[in-house]
């Protein structure tokens, strides 16, 4: 059996696979090259950089399993894989804490202008009176998607004495109430929330969930945090809402197209703080997801029971 690892994953995961199979680590493969070599492999391990398209899957004559070292499988054509009998599995828990903590870091940095203060002071400017922030205590946080990361963010926000409301069509009000959170409809969140943070998957239903029409319904000076997926917010509409002063600021870790285009309008706005998809980038999380996905691949290739993505 041969395994191809086509995105950077932690060595601990690769070593687990190497004990069982022949493993090739080939990073940044052009799609044509991936299509050319994929017939040689029984398993493929990716993070988010490799796009496992229908064309890749059609060429994958021997592929039995695709393992995603992380949560979102939106870079994999799961339908095409399933039709071909290829199992798609992910590592849904290994990076939950990392992404939750990054969300809190982004929210606090946004509220207190930390990146702007850092950059200006390093540039010799003492902007003490210009960089006035806002407090989190007593503010309302709207969480869209109350899964692993969303509920972790809720727990931390409650500890900071925020009011937490959430929208998630797959969670019931009792489950939310047990966490101290009021579950609302999407449109009920907008007039209430001082901060809105997104923690849902990118699907055809969530594409551009936040758009011009929805920004118009939001409380003036709302702040938006997105550590989920770029496509859940319409980036052009967000930039416009910031320019119009509807949105006071945004903290964005993920972009519709990554690596982000330097011309992306969000990069031009001082009120928008950004990180290059760092949500899962902790030493602990990268070992966690790599080990989990390696174990999942071995179980799948041995025909043992596994949880699919």
Report the residue number, 145 or 288, with the smaller CB distance to ligand NAD. Answer: 145
Minimum CB separation of residue 102 from ligand NAD in Å reads 7
**Residue 94 contact, options ligand NAD, ligand MLT, none, Cβ 5-8 Å cut-off depending on partner type:** none
118 among known catalytic residues: no
Report the residue number, 99 or 210, with the smaller CB distance to ligand NAD. Answer: 99
Does position 13 interact with ligand MLT (CB under 6 A)? The reply is: no
Q: Which of 13, 70, 145, 152 binds ligand MLT (CB under 6 A)?
A: 70
Angle between helices 96-111 and 148-159 (to 10 degrees): 50
Site for ligand MLT in 265-284 (CB under 6 A): 279-280
Cα dihedral angle (16, 21, 24, 27), rounded to 10 degrees? -40
199 among known catalytic residues: no
Report the residue number, 201 or 265, with the smaller CB distance to ligand NAD. Answer: 201
Report the residue number, 49 or 188, with the smaller CB distance to ligand MLT. Answer: 49
Judged by the rule CB under 6 A, the positions of this chain that interact with ligand NAD are: 71-72, 92, 95-96, 99, 144-150, 167-171, 199-202, 205-206, 227-229, 253-254, 277, 279-280
**Residue 167 contact, options ligand NAD, ligand MLT, none, Cβ 5-8 Å cut-off depending on partner type:** ligand NAD
Minimum CB separation of residue 98 from ligand NAD in Å reads 7
Percentages of the chain per state (helix, strand, coil), in multiples of 5: 40, 15, 45
Minimum CB separation of residue 285 from ligand NAD in Å reads 8
Residues 6 or more apart whose CB falls under 8 angstroms from that of 247 comprise 215, 218, 221, 222, 223, 224, 238, 241, 271
**Of the candidates 238, 223, 253, the residue with the CA atom closest to the CA atom of residue 139:** 223
Angle between helices 114-122 and 96-111 (to 10 degrees): 70
Minimum CB separation of residue 75 from ligand NAD in Å reads 10
Residues 6 or more apart whose CB falls under 8 angstroms from that of 69 comprise 7, 9, 13, 45, 46, 47, 91, 94, 286, 289, 290, 292, 293
Which string of x and - marks every residue 30-49 that binds ligand MLT (by CB under 6 A)?
-----------------xx-
Minimum CB separation of residue 201 from ligand MLT in Å reads 9
Peptide bond preceding 259 in cis form (omega within 30 of 0): yes
**Residue 144 contact, options ligand NAD, ligand MLT, none, Cβ 5-8 Å cut-off depending on partner type:** ligand NAD
Does position 71 interact with ligand MLT (CB under 6 A)? The reply is: yes
Return d(Cα 101, Cα 99) in angstroms, integer: 6
**Residue 47 contact, options ligand MLT, ligand NAD, none, Cβ 5-8 Å cut-off depending on partner type:** ligand MLT
Return d(Cα 169, Cα 107) in angstroms, integer: 24
**Residue 205 contact, options ligand MLT, ligand NAD, none, Cβ 5-8 Å cut-off depending on partner type:** ligand NAD
**Token pair in block for residue 180:** 């101290």
234 among known catalytic residues: no
Return d(Cα 52, Cα 201) in angstroms, integer: 17
Task: Give the CA angle between residues 205, 150, 176 to the nearest 5°.
Answer: 95
Minimum CB separation of residue 210 from ligand MLT in Å reads 18
Return d(Cα 216, Cα 74) in angstroms, integer: 28
Q: Are the beta carbons of 235 and 264 closer than 8 angstroms?
A: yes
Does position 95 interact with ligand MLT (CB under 6 A)? The reply is: yes
Site residues (vs ligand MLT, CB under 6 A): 47-48, 70-72, 95, 279-280
């Amino acid at each position: 059996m041969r395994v191809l690892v086509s995105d950077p994953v932690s060595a601990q995961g690769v070593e687990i696979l190497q004990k069982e199979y022949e493993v090739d680590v080939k990073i940044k493969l052009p799609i044509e090259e991936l299509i050319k070599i994929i017939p040689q492999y029984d398993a493929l391990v990716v993070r988010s950089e490799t796009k496992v398209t229908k064309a890749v899957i059609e060429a994958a004559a021997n592929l039995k399993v695709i393992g995603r070292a992380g949560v979102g499988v939106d870079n994999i054509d799961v339908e095409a894989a399933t039709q071909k009998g290829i199992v798609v599995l992910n590592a849904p828990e290994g990076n939950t804490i990392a992404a939750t903590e990054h969300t809190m870091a982004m929210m606090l940095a946004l509220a207190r202008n930390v990146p702007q203060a850092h950059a200006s002071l390093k540039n010799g400017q003492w902007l003490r009176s210009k960089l006035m922030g806002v407090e989190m205590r007593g503010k309302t946080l709207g969480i869209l998607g109350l899964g692993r990361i969303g509920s972790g963010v809720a727990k931390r926000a409650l500890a900071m004495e925020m009011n937490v409301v959430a929208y998630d069509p797959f969670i019931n009000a009792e489950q939310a109430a047990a966490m101290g959170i009021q579950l609302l409809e999407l449109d009920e969140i907008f007039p209430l929330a001082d901060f809105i943070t997104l923690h849902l998957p990118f699907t055809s239903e969530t594409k551009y969930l936040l758009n011009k029409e929805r920004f118009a319904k939001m409380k003036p000076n709302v702040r938006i945090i997105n550590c989920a997926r770029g496509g859940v917010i319409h980036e052009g509409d967000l930039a416009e809402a910031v320019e119009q002063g509807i949105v006071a600021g945004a903290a964005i870790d993920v972009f519709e197209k990554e690596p982000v285009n330097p011309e992306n309008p969000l990069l031009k706005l001082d009120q928008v703080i950004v990180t290059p998809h760092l949500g899962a980038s902790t030493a602990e999380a990268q070992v966690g997801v790599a080990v989990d996905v390696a174990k999942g691949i071995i179980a799948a290739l041995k025909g043992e029971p596994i949880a699919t993505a």
